[in-house]
Amino acid sequence: MTSSAPVALITGAGSGIGRSLARVLALEGHAIAAVDLSELGLRSLADELKDKPLAWAVADVTDASGLQNAVRDLESKLGPVDLLIANAGVGYETSAVNYNVDAMNKIIGVNLIGVSNSIGAVLPGMIERKRGHLVGISSIASYRGLPRMLGYCASKAGVNAIFEGLRVELAPFGIHSTIVCPGWVKTPLTENLEGPMEHLLEVEDAAREIVYAIRNKLCFYTFPGQMRWKMRLMQFWPRSWQDGMIRRLMNRVKTKKLGEKEAQG
């Protein structure tokens, strides 16, 4: 049975930011279409929100046809998707010194191609209905390339480029596009890092910031505010100054162990 509530499709909904977004949006009256690789995470989310309209599907965002089938199944249960939050992502060290092509391709595959696949699964319907809202969860790391975060920065910069183009082209169709760039957030993606991470946010606080951007249909939103202004100011510096500051900051953040900490969450 379809729901009369607006439907929010969230990828990577089983844990981290995606799970917190599901909680907040469900409380605000959205029906939640939850997608993740982890069936366990999705089942526990469904149990947590058992009094709310929610349907879930296990799907890999890098599998375009599989994701489309999952979205069609969720829409048959809840109704057409009004809001897409392309949140699924992975993040782990990709270094120039030990350049790993497989690691680069995995990160770009999930964080960029996966976002494109997510858009492709819902956009035709939104265009037909002439309404909808596309949200890409990017990162402050999209502002420039960072040492040992080559794949992550590249993937998030690509997300920004897609959504910038979407915003301009889809405006006449009544479809909104929002890019959200969080700073450091306490999720499984940051668990394998040690050292000072400035303005580290709890995941619940990050989710509230993202929902603020969604509710107000902001084009581009970076948080927390202290990091937003630092990044904007740094963009006016010569590249040599930027490189020196980034080198000092990144030398203070170390990886405890190499490897993928979270699958599409």
User: Any idea which residue has 């060290």 for tokens?
Assistant: 93
Per annotation, catalytic residue among 143, 152, 212, 221: 152
Q: Please, which residues have CB within 8 angstroms of residue 149's CB and are 6 or more apart in sequence? A: 91, 93, 94, 141, 250
Using alpha carbons, list the distances in angstroms from residue 258 to 148, 191, 254: 11, 11, 10
- Beta-strand pair 254-255/193-194: antiparallel
Q: Please, which residues have CB within 8 angstroms of residue 97's CB and are 6 or more apart in sequence? A: none
3-state SS class at 15: coil
Helices marked H in the chain: 16-27, 39-48, 64-78, 101-108, 114-129, 150-170, 203-215, 225-234, 239-251
With beta carbons less than 8 A apart as the criterion, state whether 89 and 15 touch: no
Q: Among residues 52, 44, 50, 42, which one has the least CA distance to residue 11?
A: 42
Sign of CA dihedral 228, 233, 234, 239: positive
Q: What is the DSSP letter of 6?
A: P
Question: For this structure, is 212 an active site residue?
Answer: no
Q: Please, which residues have CB within 8 angstroms of residue 165's CB and are 6 or more apart in sequence? A: none
User: Any idea which residue has 């606080």 for tokens?
Assistant: 205
Catalytic residue IDs = 152
